Amino acid sequence: MRTVALLIVGSLPFASSLLAQAPQAGAATSTARGSISTTQQRVDPTMSYHRVLAIVPLVGSGTSSDPRRPMFAPAPSAAPASHTGIIAYQHQISDDGALSLVEFVAADRSAFAALFASTDPRVQYFEVGKSTPAQILAAFQLKKAGFSWATFHPLPVQ
């Protein structure tokens, strides 16, 4: 009986240290390669969808039915948004006022077909993940002095 009691008492510190190290629900588990989350994390909205940064001319007459906007940007409509074509964009006007520095977002890469096929010499595009941020920044700064990523954050499209 004494031996059993010693084993139980002797194993209590070991058992409590194991319990302290046991993963809690939703906590990260350590492995030889790092830690693995036991809960699924949401994808950062700025890293979802297909994204293209571009320098394009401005189009539109400036009326409420045809506002000035970047070429390839969808015209505003009263219809509810669908996830086809270009679903979002943000832009800044170049220093000369004729071009737009724009980020286009689409659920499918095929939405950029017209942009990719453009023969207009003023159109430049950079696919996120294929062009480096330094390449894009250099091209944008040629069109807008002082352009910075601090004022041009990726769109968090939901």
> Is the residue at 158 inside a domain?
no
Look at residue 3 in the predicted model and tell me its pLDDT.
42
Closest to 48 in 3D by CA, of 117, 106, 9, 6: 106
Considering the domain architecture, whether residues 31 and 89 belong to the same structural domain is answered as no
Question: What's the pLDDT tens digit per position in 93-145?
Answer: 999 999 999 999 998 999 999 999 999 999 999 998 899 999 999 999 999 99
Task: Name the residue type at position 135.
Answer: Q
Integer angstrom CA distances of residue 109 from 31, 52, 114, 128: 37, 9, 11, 11
- In the chain, the largest separation of any two C-alpha atoms, in whole Å, equals 95
pLDDT of residue 36: 62
Q: Within this chain, do residues 11 and 71 fall inside the same structural domain, yes or no?
A: no
Q: Examine the domain organization and report whether 67 and 135 are in the same domain.
A: yes
Same domain, 89 and 125: yes
When divided into structural domains, the chain yields a total of: 2
pLDDT tens-digit series, residues 40-95: 776 665 566 789 999 999 998 888 888 899 999 987 775 556 677 888 899 999 99
Residue 148: is its pLDDT beyond 50?
yes
CB burial of residue 92 (10 Å; 0-12, 13-18, 19+): middle
Question: Is 156 inside any structural domain?
Answer: no
